C-alpha cells in the first residue's frame, strides 16, 4: 500500500446462485488469454492516464467456478476516494464489455448454456501495449487460490 | 500462398467443432477471405456471422484488413466477462 494513498476501492465479483430466476450450480469461463492479458495491461495503463490513481490491479478467473467463488477482482488506490471509486467502476464496466471472455452456466441436471453476451467493444485507448512482466497474481488466473490479491 | 491460424471461441468453437486450424490462403488475402473459407468449411458458423467480431493478432479488426503469413484470426462471439 502506498503511503500517499488515502483510499482503496476493492470490487470483488462472485458467482451468483441464479440467473433470470433459474438456479445456477456453477459456471465455466472461457478466455482468449493472449488477448485478455494484453487488454488488462492496456486497461490499467489507460486508467492510470485518466485518473490520478496510485495503484491498480485487475484479475479475472478462467475455467470452472462454483457458486460463491470469486470470478473477478478490481483493486484501485488513490489519494482520494472519488477517483478510486470512479476508476474501479470504469474498470469493471470495461472488463464486462471489452474483454474476450465467455461463460457457460451450469444448471440443475448438469446442463450447460452460454450466457448471453454483447458484441465486444474495441479499446479506444491509445495507450501503448506494455510488455512488462505479468507478475502473479494479476491478469487471468486459472489455478485455484484462496488469496487472489496479495498485499 | 500464406498460412494463417484461425481460432474459434465459445459458440464459434462449438459450431466449428475445433479450437482452431491453419488455413492456406492466396497472397493479398484479407480477413474477409479467411472468414469465407471458415464458413465454407464449417457451415454452422454462419448462424453466428452477424454476432461475431474478429480479432487479428489480438486486436479487433475490420474485414478488409490484409493478412500476412503467420497471422492469428480469432472469431469472437458476444462476450460476457465479470
Task: Give the pLDDT confidence of A49-75 residue by residue, as tens digits.
Answer: 999 999 999 999 999 999 999 999 999
CATH of A7-120+129-141, one of 3.20.20.70, 1.10.3720.10, 3.90.1170.40, 3.40.109.10: 3.90.1170.40
Residues of B in contact with A99 (CB under 8 A): 79, 81
The order of strands in the sheet holding A53-61 is A7-14, A70-78, A53-61, A139-141
What is the DSSP-derived secondary structure letter of residue A20? T
CB atoms under 10 Å from CB of B63, counted, come to 12
What is the C-alpha radius of gyration for chain A, rounded to an integer number of angstroms? 16
pLDDT, tens digit, for every residue of B13-41?
A: 999 999 999 999 999 999 999 999 999 99
In chain A, which residues have their Cβ closer than 8 Å to the Cβ of B10? 30, 102, 104, 114
Predicted confidence (pLDDT) per residue in A74-84, tens digit: 999 999 999 99
For residues B51 and B75, the answer to whether their CB atoms sit within 8 Å is no
Length of chain A in residues, anyone? 151
The answer to whether the CB atoms of A71 and B82 lie below 8 A apart is: yes
pLDDT cut 70: percent of chain A above it: 83
Residue B65 touches partner A, C-beta closer than 8 Å: no
C-alpha cell of residue A14: 462472485
Nearest CA in chain B to A96: B81
Q: What is the pLDDT of residue A130?
A: 44
- In CATH terms, the fold of domain B2-76 is Ubiquitin-like (UB roll) (3.10.20)
Tell me the whole-structure pTM to 2 decimals: 0.87
Amino acid at each position: 500500500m502506498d503511503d500517499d494513498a488515502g483510499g482503496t476501492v476493492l470490487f470483488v465479483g462472485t458467482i451468483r446462485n441464479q440467473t433470470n430466476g433459474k438456479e445456477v450450480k456453477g459456471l465455466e469461463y472461457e478466455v482468449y488469454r493472449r488477448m485478455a492479458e494484453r487488454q488488462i495491461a492496456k486497461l490499467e495503463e489507460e486508467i492510470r492516464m485518466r485518473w490520478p490513481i496510485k495503484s491498480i490491479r485487475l484479475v479475472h478467473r478462467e475455467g470452472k467456478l462454483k457458486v460463491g467463488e470469486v470470478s473477478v477482482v478490481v483493486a484501485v488506490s488513490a489519494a482520494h476516494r472519488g477517483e478510486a471509486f470512479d476508476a474501479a467502476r470504469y474498470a469493471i464496466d470495461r472488463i464486462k464489455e471489452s474483454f474476450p471472455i465467455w461463460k457457460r452456466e451450469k444448471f440443475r441436471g448438469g446442463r450447460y448454456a452460454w450466457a448471453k453476451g454483447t458484441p465486444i467493444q474495441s479499446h479506444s485507448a491509445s495507450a501503448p501495449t506494455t510488455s512488462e512482466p505479468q507478475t502473479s497474481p494479476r491478469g487471468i488466473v486459472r489455478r485455484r487460490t484462496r488469496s487472489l490479491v496479495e498485499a | 500462398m500464406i498460412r494463417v491460424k484461425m481460432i474459434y471461441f465459445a459458440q464459434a468453437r462449438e459450431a466449428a467443432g475445433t479450437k482452431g486450424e491453419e488455413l492456406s490462403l492466396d497472397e493479398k488475402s484479407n480477413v474477409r477471405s479467411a472468414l469465407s473459407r471458415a464458413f465454407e468449411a464449417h457451415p454452422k458458423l454462419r448462424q453466428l456471422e452477424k454476432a461475431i467480431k474478429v480479432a487479428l493478432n489480438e486486436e479487433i479488426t475490420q474485414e478488409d484488413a490484409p493478412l500476412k503469413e503467420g497471422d492469428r484470426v480469432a472469431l469472437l462471439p458476444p462476450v460476457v466477462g465479470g
